[in-house]
Chain A
C-alpha cells in the first residue's frame, strides 16, 4: 500500500478531523461503497483514505483520497465528468483552469463537491451542505491535498485525439474520458454488457464524441474510441472478439496475423461503423452519418498516432 504524504489540517474554521483516516482497500471497498467499488477497481486502485470533518454548527465535510497506481488512473477518474467550476488550488495550476487552453483541468468544484486530479491521487471533498464557510473549508482542504504534489501530464493517449478534423468535426473535449474497464466504458457510452473489447487494467483507452452542426442547426455526433493494448496480438484478438460480437453478420475481412490493417467499414442500424487496427491500437468510430466522416476521423487520429510513434522512436 502506498504511503500517504498528504497532510490535512486538523481544524478548519469550526470543523475538526479525526487523527487517523479510515483505510479502504480493494478487499473491503464494497463494504465502504456497495455498488460503487467497481468504478475504482476498474482503474489501478491502491487504497482509499477517508476523513470526516465534523462541526458543532455546520454539516460534515467528507474527504476521500483515492491513491491510484498511476497519475493516468487519477486523471481517468476526473475525466468521467468535466463539469463544474475549474479552480486553481496552487499557483502552478492557474494555467490549466481557464477552460480555453489545451490543458485539462485538475480541480473542479460544484455545489459543495470538489474533485481533484493531483499526481497519483484522485480526491473528492464534499460538504454535505454548501455554505460560504463550507466552500472555503473545502477549497482549503483542496489546497492542502495538492500542496507539494506534482502536476503530471495527462495520459499520452489523450494527446492523440485531434481537436478539429477537416474544419467540420470538432472534438468534444469536455466529454472525453480515459478508462480501462468495460463497466466504465458502459457508463460513458453503452456498448455491451459483456466485455467484447477485452478491456482490463493492462489497456489504456479513451472515448470522446466528435460533433458537427449544419446550417440548419442539426447536430451530428460520431463516438470515437481508441484502445491501446499491451501488444499487437492482444489488439488483434480484441478486435476479432469485438467483430464477432458486434458485427456477426459481416465477414471479418482482415487477417488476424497482420498488425496493421486498412480501415474497415460496416453499415449498421444508425449509420456507419468503421474500425482500424494499428499495431497495439484499435480505433473505432460509431454512429457515423456517412462512411467518409468516419474514415476521416479514424485516418486523422491514426496519422497523429503514427507521428507520436515516430517521435518515440527517435
Chain B
C-alpha cells in the first residue's frame, strides 16, 4: 500500500515549515496556537574564566567554585550563594543532580562543586543524589538540577539540555534522527515535569562536532558555565555557540547534520521555553575572548 503520509525532507527546513509539520505530526497541536505560548524574556547567564582549566585541561576547582558562586548570584540577583540556592530549592527538597553521562560527559568537578555549594547552603548531604540514569531515578526527587555538558550529537544534532533526561524514558534510541524533535517529551514526563530548578551547562571543554565518538580536534576550552531556568533558552544559546564555533573552525558554513529539531520543537510544540534569540536576555561575565555570541 502506498505510504500517503507526507515525509519530512530537507525542503521543509529550507521553507521554514518544519516546525508546523512537526507540530501537527507529533502532538496534533494547532501550530499557531502553540507558537507564542512562551512569549517573554528568559535570562541566560554565562560566566567564563580563562583559568578554569590549565593547559593540560585539568579543572582548577577554586576558579570553578568562584564561577559557580558568581553564576548563582548573578542569575538569581540574590546577595549570597546561600540565598541564591534557597530561592531555587527548599532545604527539605530531595535534590537530584543530572549530569551528562557519555560522550564528553559533565566534569566530575562541576557535579562536586554544585553538591558542595548546596551543602554549604544548608541542604543536607543525604538529600542530594546523582539522579542520572533510568526512569526510577527522578521519581524520588522533588527537585532536579540539570548539569549537561555542551556538545553536538551525531543523531540528534545537539546533545545538551533537551537531551539530558532522555534516559528517564527507558528507551533513549527512540529519540534519534527526526525523533530528536520529541525530546521535549522527556521534560513533561509525569515524574520529571516541573521539577527542574536550574539548568547549569558545563561549557568548560565543549565538543562542537557530532562524533559519534569524541574527537579531540573538535573540543575547545570555552571555560564557561551557562545557566538559566528556561531550558529551551539555555539550549538555544548553547546551539548558537556550537554553530559559531563550527563556522570559525572551518572558515565556512558547517551546519549541524541532522539539524537539532529538538530546540525549536521544545518551544513551539511543547511550550517549554523560548528558542527565539530576541526573547533571550544573555548576561555575560568574565573572560570575553571567543565568546561566540
A residues contacting B by CB (< 8 A) are 30, 33-36, 38-39, 81, 83-84, 110-113, 124, 126, 129-130, 183, 186-194, 196, 219, 245-246, 248, 268-270, 286
11 A-B residue pairs with CB within 8 Å: A35-B103, A36-B103, A36-B212, A39-B154, A113-B216, A186-B177, A186-B258, A190-B10, A190-B257, A190-B259, A193-B8
Q: Are A81 and B215 in contact, with the CB atoms below 8 A?
A: yes
Which of B15, B103, B216 meets A269, CB within 8 Å? B15
Which of B9, B211, B255 meets A246, CB within 8 Å? B9
Chain B residues closer than 8 Å to A196, beta-carbon distance: 7, 9
Q: Are B216 and A35 in contact, with the CB atoms below 8 A?
A: no
Which of A30, A110, A130, A268 meets B215, CB within 8 Å? A110
CA distance A189 to B212 in the complex (A): 16
Main secondary structure on chain B at its contact with chain A? Answer: loop
- The digit string for B177-219, where 1 denotes a CB below 8 A from any CB of A, is 1110000000000000000000000000000001111011100
B102 at the interface (CB under 8 A from A): yes
Which of B155, B213, B252 meets A38, CB within 8 Å? B155
What's the least CB distance linking B162 to chain A, in Å?
A: 15
Chain A residues closer than 8 Å to B102, beta-carbon distance: 34-35
Which of A111, A124, A245 meets B213, CB within 8 Å? A124
Which of B176, B179, B257 meets A189, CB within 8 Å? B257
Chain B residues closer than 8 Å to A183, beta-carbon distance: 155, 177
Chain A residues closer than 8 Å to B10, beta-carbon distance: 190-192, 246, 286
Q: Are B14 and A245 in contact, with the CB atoms below 8 A?
A: no
Which of A35, A110, A248 meets B212, CB within 8 Å? A35
Which of B8, B210, B211, B212 meets A192, CB within 8 Å? B8
If A192-B10, A196-B9 touch, whether A129 touches B217 (CB-CB below 8 Å) is no
Chain B residues closer than 8 Å to A245, beta-carbon distance: 7, 9
If A113-B216, A190-B257, A193-B258 touch, whether A36 touches B9 (CB-CB below 8 Å) is no
- The 6 closest A-B CB pairs, nearest first, are A193-B178, A36-B212, A111-B216, A269-B14, A245-B7, A110-B217
Chain B residues closer than 8 Å to A246, beta-carbon distance: 9-11
Find the residue from B8, B215, B255, B257 having the highest chain A CB count within 10 A: B215
CA distance A193 to B260 in the complex (A): 12
